[in-house]
Amino acid sequence: MHDDLARLTAPTEFLDYESTPVREFVDGVVPDRGADKRDLAIALYYAVRDDVFYEVYGADLSRDGLKASHVATRKQGFCLHKSVLYAACCRAVGIPARLHYGKVRNHLASDRLRKHIGGDVFFHGLAAVHLDGQWVKATPVFNGLLCKLYGLKPLEFDGVTDSLYHPFDEDGRKSMEFLVDHGGFDDLPYEFVMDQMRTNHPDFLDPDGTGTVSGGSLAAEAAR
């Protein structure tokens, strides 16, 4: 493997796949780490997408809270958390992975969440994995239940084409669009991420500024 790609399989502060929680998560999904890399990436994608619940409220945004080990332990979080876990899991099985950030319009949201966010433009995190000589973007974020509640088709991933966002809902109406691409990062850029959250979504943060507001459930709000 090229030196640059080999570097992107190493553990980092946030992609801490040598920790027990991440090791156990990976082993529970892909006991044979010697399998085809694309098959491993796909299996891990669906495990993170559907076995780690997507919840925006009461999320831990501290340095420890955004580590893959914390996400694997809690099995809950939103795009920032789930993308970190997916990238860490891929690196654990030898797949080069990076984190990607941008802004999207009309993200999966309830009316209450839009009030906290301050509109319909959201800071967003996803991952990119290197498979068969190319980088492929993956967004193992919105689990099947939430997609059903909000009338969206779950994002699939085949390891070949980018899995980015929901361009249309189940009725064919425009649902999401990527507005800004901040590029890729070898590890979670904590100060950058928190600066984006404080600048773009100040009312979404708790009083300490180290987590999101609590007292809600995105799933429950879908029915309102």
Using one digit for the tens of pLDDT, what is the confidence trace for 139-160? 998 888 887 787 777 889 999 9
pLDDT one-digit tens code per residue, 21-51:
999 999 999 998 888 999 999 999 999 999 9
Give CA–CA dist 219/149, Å, rounded.
7
154 token code pair:
């779950």
Strand partners, 206: none
Contact 110, 222 (CB under 8 A): yes
Q: Tell me the pTM.
A: 0.93
- Max avg pLDDT among 87-91, 106-110, 218-222: 87-91
What average pLDDT does the chain have?
90
Count of CA atoms in the C-beta half-sphere (13 A) of 109:
22
pLDDT score recorded for residue 63: 98
Compute the average pLDDT of residues 167-196.
Answer: 80
207 Cβ neighbours under 8 A, 6+ residues apart: none
| Backbone phi and psi for residue 18, each to the nearest 5 degrees, phi listed first | -80, -5
What count of other Cβ atoms lies within 10 Å of the Cβ of residue 31?
8
Map out the domains of the chain with their CATH numbers: 3-210 (3.10.620)
pLDDT score recorded for residue 147: 79
Query: Which of 121, 118, 179, 176 shows the shortest CA–CA distance to 151?
Result: 176
